[in-house]
């Protein structure tokens, strides 16, 4: 147990304190699902798991409320596992180490898992609570949300009976979400021709780190640096000044996280490497000036190393840098319908090398299907020019807003009664499972809301402690009103 157990409301924080100790990587949520089903068994509640691994727990209505329509509550069990490179942490064995920073709860050098752990904890609190007023509940815990919404995509069409759903995977207090972007990933592969290293060559390890990163949808408008794109930019600028060859390049960890760190191995003649170093330093200094407000922690680390026996040849080095510099990253278009909403974006998410094969993963989002397709075609065009093969993976649908939603009307009234003002209503530039759930269950009335969570998918992730209590109070009051 940690100090989290003592936070208020304890019924929620007790659950989150336990969640901090349970490994729950995407596609490996078994222990978390067992924890939830074990809790359901102890309380004598009916529960069912579908073939994909999604779990629903059914809780009967409180006294006198059995005639109310079923309300579904939904959260996902998995979390993004990101850590700073200098932090020793094994997510499969080590518990998340929470720390308090004033009014915020964070982890120590890793993601906290408040996305979507606070939502899960709130649903487990509802599962255990015996003093609430509510109609019949279906508590749906999906798997593998963070790597492509595959849990929701594989949800059995017979698992749910209700037709109104509250998703608790939103991250801005005072906001009710009624729409989201659709998205898809693209994987590129480039074969790298190699050449032996000439005698007398030297090697330089180049590392770009200290960036904030963040969620590739929710934070893309903040214009933070992408470590992969910026490292490629610095290397390409240096290549124009002095010739060198690459022996390694890697960065990024997840399709939905903006890369915070990237590294490369540069090989050149001993008399040339100094000029390469100075050219990289000069370009990174220019980048640091450009990003001084968005990413003040941007850091370049250079270190000499023993040269490898082989590198990519000059043509492969040039193609790699041209490809990474040519691929889009960031906001491509803002919505003309909803002020301030990103319409279309792309995240140059990961680059990795295995032998002679380099793999690049990109995540593209848009609330306009045709714009999503157009940006993916642009990615294909750049990749084709660089000689890479392209695999366009199936995406997930967006969620079209319904401002006439009866569920929204009830939640808005309760919110105004609780806070003195109506909630802000809008859409997000991120993939929510609601888009898929609405497709699987036509006519589903849906809303999404949550506490204040910032910088998800990065070690800077944090949740505003007192917002969790307000969120849980609004959730329970809404359930009472719906009954």
Distance, C-alpha 466 to centroid of its chain: 23
Is there a catalytic annotation at residue 78? Answer: yes
Distance, C-alpha 137 to centroid of its chain: 28
R_g over Cα of the chain = 24
Residue 157 has what DSSP assignment? T
How many Cα atoms sit within 13 Å of 396 on the Cβ side?
27
Tokens describing residue 326: 């040519």
Q: CA–CA distance from 456 to each of 128, 158, 466 (Å)?
A: 27, 32, 18
Print the SS3 string covering 420-432: CCCCEEEEECCCC
Q: CA–CA distance from 146 to each of 44, 118, 129, 217 (Å)?
A: 30, 15, 29, 12
Q: CA–CA distance from 308 to each of 151, 243, 280, 353, 458 (Å)?
A: 43, 17, 20, 15, 33
Catalytic residue (choose from 145, 261, 454, 460): 145
Q: Are 246 and 312 a contacting pair, CB within 8 Å?
A: yes
**Would you put residue 323 in left (φ > 0), alpha (ψ -120 to 50) or beta?**
alpha
**Would you put residue 223 in left (φ > 0), alpha (ψ -120 to 50) or beta?**
left
Question: Which of 67, 43, 44, 37 shows the shortest CA–CA distance to 134?
Answer: 67
Q: 392: which strand partners?
A: 186
Is there a catalytic annotation at residue 402? Answer: no
Q: 334: which strand partners?
A: 342
Catalytic residue (choose from 17, 78, 346, 460): 78
Residues involved in catalysis: 78, 145
């Amino acid at each position: 147990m940690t100090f989290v157990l003592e936070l208020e409301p304890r019924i929620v924080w007790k659950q989150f304190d336990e969640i901090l100790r349970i490994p729950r990587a995407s596609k490996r949520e078994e222990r978390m699902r067992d924890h939830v089903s074990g809790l359901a068994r102890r309380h004598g509640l009916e529960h069912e798991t579908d073939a994909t691994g999604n779990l629903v727990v059914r809780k009967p209505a409180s006294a006198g409320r059995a005639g109310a329509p079923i309300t579904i509550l939904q959260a996902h069990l998995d979390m993004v596992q990101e850590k700073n490179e200098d932090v020793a942490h094994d997510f499969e064995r080590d518990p998340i180490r929470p720390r308090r920073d004033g009014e915020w709860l964070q982890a120590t050098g890793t993601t906290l898992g408040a996305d979507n752990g606070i939502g899960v904890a709130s649903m487990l609190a509802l599962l255990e609570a015996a003093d609430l007023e509510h109609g019949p509940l279906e508590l749906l815990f999906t798997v593998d949300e963070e790597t492509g919404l595959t849990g929701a995509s594989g949800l059995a069409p017979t698992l749910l009976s209700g037709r109104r759903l509250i998703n608790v995977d939103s991250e801005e207090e005072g906001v009710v979400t009624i729409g989201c972007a659709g998205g898809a990933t693209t994987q590129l592969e480039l074969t790298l021709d190699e050449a032996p290293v000439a005698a007398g060559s030297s090697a330089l390890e180049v590392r770009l780190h200290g960036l904030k990163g963040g969620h590739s949808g929710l934070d893309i408008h903040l214009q933070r640096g992408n470590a992969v794109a910026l490292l490629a930019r610095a290397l390409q600028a240096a290549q124009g000044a002095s010739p060198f060859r690459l022996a390694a390049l890697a960065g990024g960890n997840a399709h939905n996280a903006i890369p915070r760190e990237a590294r490369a191995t540069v090989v050149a003649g001993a008399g040339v490497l100094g000029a390469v170093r100075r050219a990289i330093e000069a370009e990174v200094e220019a980048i640091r000036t450009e990003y001084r407000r968005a990413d003040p922690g941007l850091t370049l680390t250079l270190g000499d190393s023993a040269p490898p026996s082989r590198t990519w040849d000059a043509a492969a080095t040039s193609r790699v840098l041209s490809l990474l510099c040519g691929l889009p990253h960031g906001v491509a278009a803002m919505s003309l319908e909803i002020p301030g909403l990103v319409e279309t974006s792309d995240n140059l998410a990961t680059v990795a090398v295995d032998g002679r094969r380099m793999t690049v993963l990109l995540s593209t989002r848009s609330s306009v299907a045709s714009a999503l397709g157009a940006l993916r075609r642009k990615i294909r065009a750049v990749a084709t020019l660089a000689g890479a093969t392209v695999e366009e993976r199936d995406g997930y649908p967006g969620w079209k807003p319904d401002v006439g939603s009866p569920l929204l009307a009830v939640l808005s009234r309760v919110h105004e009664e609780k806070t003195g003002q109506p909630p802000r209503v809008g859409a997000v530039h991120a993939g929510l499972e609601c888009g898929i759930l609405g497709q699987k269950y036509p006519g589903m009335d849906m809303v999404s809301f949550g506490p204040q969570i910032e910088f998800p998918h990065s070690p800077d992730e944090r949740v505003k402690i007192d917002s969790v209590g307000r969120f849980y109070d609004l959730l329970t009051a809404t359930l009472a009103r719906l009954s």
